[in-house]
């Protein structure tokens, strides 16, 4: 069956491609894995035994390392994963041994606005159903490990409230004296459930728990997801699990998972999750899927473990960062690369005519609403104005010492003049540039992009971080705000200022990176400010501490760690063919 992206939906393309996908054993062998390193998880997907594979690959020279990021997107997304898959296919077309690494989709967006994160058109990761609906269980493992910590904490609070010291001693417990007003953790689930953001638990009686305010966040925002993304191996993950701060006692001391003696059991949930899942592109190149999305409320990176494997198994390894370069790439640059020791040889910056026109003042773009004709007809004035956003992201990437490759992710409505304008702006501002039609043509449509990336990889570069860990916390936040977002300065709520001062007085803070929480829809904290906003300050509302993951988390603006479900969610269009059992409607 000929695959035609212009006439078929993504799930139809995936279903057709799955009929001829490579057997799992063949895929693993071609990726450079041995039979003992493949853990089959059904007929079509597997996991890679990371510990065994890395023992064999220790000392193997690393291949070229490529990160894919983007400009500030519309709410529809601008095709980062599609471009990642297209680039993997394009590198394969020009004869390069290549592996991709992308993030596992969250059930939140899969059943809400954005859909799955498999890519699209002829640049997809397959099999789509397994990829989109739980895959090999990593997100479930994170949910269980995280909620087990909450079970341990709330049960301990109940027992301490009900028991005197003598009875606690008989249970071999010491009093932790947790302050119910300073419980940092919430419960998690992997859906967008705004009704659970704020709840009251423990109601009923003393046998029904400890009554207090609580709430839910989405699973992919969990510190345990961040730990999975940055851990180097199982020993590192185990150590980090014990450093998670769940709450503070009434004297202001940390209460950790280790204090509750639950960290070992939490790690037990994660033993299989530490192994990346193995899938493939529509064209049969291997793809490692590990860690999760949402760089606006989490680290939003594919894992260090996947990148350690990919850079040793292939000559070119393509990894992915969430949302725009202001948040996804900034975290890749200053957190992931710092922790992994891997420096990128190339950075791909995905741009679309649609998003640049929006940043130039185009009409509002909303999911489920037809695009205004401003986005489908040539308008060079609108496009040129919007290129200010592209320039800002080019400048951000260049600050790390690597020349970016701007990928014009081609839509069939783009005109030659529009493409030429973006190319000129990119090149005039020191970037390489390539148009790519991977969505429509797969690897064949991504050859220009693949060749530009090979050129970038062969260039000399001097990779450097934006800040050192010795830099005081508020100075780091200001550096990110000014150098990456373009803010004039930073303001703090009373709560955030108090926490900042406390953290700056703690010598341990000097070992922690800075993981910003901010909207992905603007360079600023305000999703309504498009283009390249000027004359604004970044408001820090709160500061969270993820000591297990190894970073401090400043929260800018009114962003929520539990997204909401929209009025016309994707789940309305997902169903099952009861005769075949096949899922349809995923996108």
Catalytic residue status for 82: yes
When pLDDT is cut at 50, 70 and 90, the band that residue 1 belongs to is low
Is residue 240 part of the annotated active site? The answer reads: no
Predicted local confidence at residue 328, as pLDDT: 94
pLDDT recorded at residue 560: 86
Topology (CATH level 3) of domain 10-137+273-458 = Rossmann fold (3.40.50)
- The superfamily (CATH) of domain 139-256 is Domain 2, N(10)-formyltetrahydrofolate synthetase (3.30.1510.10)
The residue-averaged pLDDT of 185-195 equals: 96
Q: DSSP label at 68?
A: E
Residue with tokens 């909207």: 519
Q: Is 114 considered catalytic here?
A: yes
Of 64, 103, 238, 547, which residue is the catalytic one? Answer: 103
pLDDT at position 530 is 97
Across 370-397, b (16+ Cβ under 10 Å) vs e yields: ebeebbbeebeebbbbbbbbbbbbbbbb
Give the end-to-end CA distance of the chain in Å, rounded to a whole number: 20
Provide the pLDDT for residue 367: 80
Q: Sorting pLDDT into bands at 50, 70 and 90, what band is 114?
A: confident
- Helix (H, G, I), strand (E, B), or coil: what is residue 7? coil
Q: How far is CA 104 from CA 89, 219, 221, 276, in A?
A: 19, 12, 13, 10
Q: 323, 329, 339, 551: which one is catalytic? A: 323
Q: Which ranges in the chain are annotated with CATH 3.10.410.10?
A: 473-556
**473-556: what fold?**
Formyltetrahydrofolate synthetase; domain 3 (3.10.410)
Is 1 exposed, middle or buried, given 0-12, 13-18 or 19+ CB atoms closer than 10 A? exposed
411 catalytically annotated: yes
Chain-centre distance for alpha carbon 421: 30
Residue 216, beta-bridge partner list = 187
Residue with tokens 């390069």: 96
Tokens 């096949």 correspond to what residue?
582
pLDDT of residue 159: 95
Read off the pLDDT of each residue in 482-508 and give the average, rounded to a whole number: 95
The CA-based angle 449-453-459, given to 5 degrees, is 150
How much is the pLDDT for 423?
98
Catalytic hit among 44, 80, 156, 357: 80
The mean per-residue pLDDT over the stretch 538-564 comes to: 93
Percent of the chain with pLDDT over 70: 100
CA distances from 103 to 16, 79, 229, 256, 561 (A): 23, 14, 9, 28, 18
pLDDT at residue 116, rounded to an integer: 84
> Would you give the distance in Å from CA 261 to the centre of its chain?
30
**3-state helix, strand and coil shares in percent for the chain, rounded to the nearest 5:** 40, 20, 40
Q: How far apart are CA 547 and CA 226, in angstroms?
A: 11
pLDDT value at 495 more than 70: yes
pLDDT of residue 558: 83
Q: How far is CA 336 from the centre of its chain?
A: 11
Q: Of the listed 185, 187, 269, 439, which one is catalytic?
A: 439
- Name the DSSP class of 43: S
Catalytic residue among 81, 82, 136, 311: 82
Q: Where in the chain is the domain with CATH 3.30.1510.10?
A: 139-256
Among 411, 415, 455, 560, the active-site one is 411
What tens digit of pLDDT does each residue of 343-401 get?
999 999 999 999 999 999 999 998 878 899 999 999 999 999 999 999 999 999 999 99
- Which among 67, 66, 77, 63 is positioned nearest to 31, based on CA atoms? 63
- The pLDDT value recorded for residue 511 is 83
- Residues constituting the chain: 587
Cα 249 to chain centroid distance, Å, stands at 32
Give the whole-angstrom CA distance, residue 513 versus residue 464.
15
Residue 179 is encoded by which pair of tokens? 């302050």
Residues of the chain with CATH 3.40.50.300: 10-137+273-458
**Given a cut of 70, is residue 324 above it in pLDDT?**
yes
Active site residue 97: no
Q: How far is CA 210 from CA 159, 160, 180, 224, 254, in A?
A: 9, 10, 9, 24, 19
- Alpha helices per DSSP H over 214-315: 223-230, 234-241, 263-270, 304-313
Q: What is the mean pLDDT of residues 300-308?
A: 96
Reply yes or no on whether 295 is catalytic: yes
- As a whole number, mean pLDDT of residues 105-126 equals 91
Query: What pTM does this model have?
Result: 0.95
Measured CA distances, 80 to 260, 276, 407 (Å): 41, 20, 10
Q: How many angstroms separate the CA atoms of 369 and 412, rounded?
A: 19
Q: Known catalytic residue: 314?
A: no
pLDDT tens by residue, 65-105: 999 999 999 988 899 999 999 999 999 999 999 999 999 99
């Amino acid at each position: 069956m000929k695959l035609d992206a212009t006439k078929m939906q993504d799930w139809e393309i995936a279903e057709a491609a799955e009929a001829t996908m490579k057997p799992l054993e063949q895929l693993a062998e071609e990726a450079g894995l041995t039979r003992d390193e493949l853990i089959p998880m059904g007929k079509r997907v597997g996991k890679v035994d990371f510990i065994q594979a890395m023992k064999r690959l220790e000392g193997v020279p690393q291949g070229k390392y490529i990160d894919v990021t983007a400009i500030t997107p519309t709410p529809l997304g601008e095709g980062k994963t599609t471009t990642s898959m297209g680039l993997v296919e394009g590198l394969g077309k020009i004869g390069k041994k290549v592996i991709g690494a992308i993030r596992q989709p969250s059930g939140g967006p899969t059943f809400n606005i954005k859909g799955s994160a498999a890519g699209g058109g002829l640049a997809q990761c397959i099999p789509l159903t397994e990829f989109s609906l739980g895959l090999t269980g990593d997100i479930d493992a994170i949910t269980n490990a995280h909620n087990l910590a909450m079970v341990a904490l709330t049960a301990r609070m109940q027992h301490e409230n009900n028991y005197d010291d003598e009875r606690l001693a008989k249970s071999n417990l010491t009093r932790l004296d947790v302050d119910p007003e300073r419980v940092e953790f919430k419960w998690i689930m992997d859906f967008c459930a705004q009704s659970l953001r704020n709840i009251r638990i423990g109601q009923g009686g003393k046998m029904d728990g400890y009554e207090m305010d609580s709430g839910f966040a989405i699973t992919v925002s969990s510190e345990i997801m961040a730990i999975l993304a940055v851990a180097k191996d199982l020993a590192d993950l185990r150590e980090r699990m014990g450093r998670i701060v769940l709450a503070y006692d009434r004297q202001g001391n940390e209460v950790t998972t280790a204090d509750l003696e639950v960290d070992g059991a939490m790690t037990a949930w994660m033993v299989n999750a530490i192994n990346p899942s193995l899938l493939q592109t529509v064209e049969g190149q291997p793809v490692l899927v590990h860690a999760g999305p949402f760089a606006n409320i989490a680290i939003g990176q594919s894992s260090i473990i996947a990148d350690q494997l990919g850079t040793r198994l292939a000559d070119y390894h393509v990894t992915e960062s969430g949302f725009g370069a202001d948040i996804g790439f900034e975290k890749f640059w200053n957190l992931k690369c710092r922790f992994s020791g891997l420096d990128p040889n190339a950075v791909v910056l995905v741009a679309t005519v649609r998003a640049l026109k929006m940043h130039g003042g185009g009409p509002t773009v909303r999911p489920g609403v037809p695009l205004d004709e401003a986005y489908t007809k040539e308008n060079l004035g609108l496009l040129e104005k919007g290129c200010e956003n592209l320039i800002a992201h080019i400048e951000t990437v260049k600050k790390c010492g690597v020349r970016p490759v701007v990928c014009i992710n081609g839509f069939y409505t783009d005109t030659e003049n529009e493409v030429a304008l973006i190319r000129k702006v990119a090149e005039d501002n020191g970037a390489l540039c390539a148009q790519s039609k991977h969505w429509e043509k797969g690897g064949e449509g991504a050859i220009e992009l693949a060749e530009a990336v090979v050129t970038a990889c062969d260039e000399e570069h001097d990779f450097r971080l934006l800040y050192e860990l010795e830099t005081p916390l508020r100075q780091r936040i200001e550096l990110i705000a000014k150098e990456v977002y373009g803010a004039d300065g930073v303001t703090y709520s009373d709560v955030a200022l108090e926490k900042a001062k406390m953290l700056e007085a703690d010598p341990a803070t000097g070992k922690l990176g800075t993981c910003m929480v901010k909207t992905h829809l603007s360079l600023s904290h305000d999703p309504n400010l498009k283009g390249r906003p000027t004359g604004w300050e970044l408001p820090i509302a709160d500061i969270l501490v993820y000591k297990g993951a190894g970073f401090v988390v400043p929260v800018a603006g009114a962003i929520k760690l539990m997204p909401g479900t929209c009025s016309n969610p994707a789940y309305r269009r997902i169903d099952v063919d009861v005769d075949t059992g096949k899922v349809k409607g995923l996108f």
